[in-house]
Chains A and B, each alone.
Chain A
């Protein structure tokens, strides 16, 4: 009973989301709002400004390199977080064993 209720709820949620998503511009063309001046600039000027023909690489490591620096710091922070959860408790356990 409860499972069916949940299923009904989520099917309803899916229908609402789908109805709303249908309002978005559907045709995937170069006239879509997401394909704006920024994109055009990246596609037209990236060879002159960065020398890389892979535009994704050019944006990743030149136009938005600071963003990528933050990304590597996220990786660093995840290691620190995992180590602070797992390693510290290990040391505590060892100290308890010695006592």
Chain B
């Protein structure tokens, strides 16, 4: 019973870990570069969820101070602010890698990692 209680208390963290593993699985097992970028995005989302879950307070309200109600319990605003920075970084990384994928497609004619590796090794053998 105590295990189930602990599970319910940590359900946000466990969800974040599940998202992270799904993203890592996508990155490792797919050779399509676009799918890999999607996997990196899912991993980033997992980190955001983990960080925001740390700042959660059960029964708390968003940190917009209500001066008529001084007893209100607010959630922790600091992780939310830090994650706002993280979102911008993930957007930048995504755009940069997408532009690299466009360039790779123009050079090799494919965006499949294994085919590209095969082509480059053939070039080296010649």
On A, residues with C-beta under 8 Å from B are: 3, 6-7, 10, 13-14, 17-18, 21-22, 24, 26-30, 32, 34-35, 38-39, 42-43, 46-47, 53-56, 59-60, 64, 67-68, 70-71, 74-75, 77-78, 81-82, 85-86, 89
Residues of chain B within 8 A of A28, CB atoms compared: 9, 53, 56-58
- Report the separation of the CA atoms of residues A46 and B77 in the bound assembly, to the nearest whole angstrom: 12
**Contact B20 A56, beta carbon cutoff 8 Å:** no
For chain A, what secondary structure do more than half of its interface residues adopt (helix, strand, loop), or is it mixed? helix
A-B contact pairs, 30 of them (CB 8 A): A3-B29, A10-B21, A13-B24, A14-B17, A14-B21, A17-B21, A18-B14, A21-B10, A26-B10, A28-B9, A28-B58, A34-B54, A34-B76, A39-B78, A43-B63, A47-B65, A53-B67, A54-B63, A54-B65, A55-B74, A56-B77, A56-B81, A59-B78, A64-B81, A67-B85, A75-B88, A75-B91, A85-B96, A85-B103, A89-B106
Verify if B119 is at the interface (C-beta below 8 Å from A): no
Which B1-44 residues have C-beta < 8 A from chain A? 6-7, 9-10, 13-14, 17-18, 20-21, 24-25, 28-29
A13/B106 contact (C-beta < 8 A), A39-B78, A53-B64 known: no
**Contact A71 B88, beta carbon cutoff 8 Å:** yes
- The listed residue (A17, A30, A42, A64) touching B17 by CB distance below 8 A is A17
**Contact B96 A78, beta carbon cutoff 8 Å:** yes
- The listed residue (A18, A59, A68, A82) touching B99 by CB distance below 8 A is A82
Residues of chain B within 8 A of A3, CB atoms compared: 29
A55/B17 contact (C-beta < 8 A), A27-B58, A38-B78 known: no
**Contact A6 B25, beta carbon cutoff 8 Å:** yes
- Report the separation of the CA atoms of residues A42 and B77 in the bound assembly, to the nearest whole angstrom: 8
In whole Å, how far is A11's beta carbon from the nearest beta carbon of chain B? 8
- Report the separation of the CA atoms of residues A60 and B79 in the bound assembly, to the nearest whole angstrom: 11
**Contact B64 A86, beta carbon cutoff 8 Å:** no
- The listed residue (A30, A82, A85) touching B73 by CB distance below 8 A is A30
Residues of chain A within 8 A of B95, CB atoms compared: 78, 82
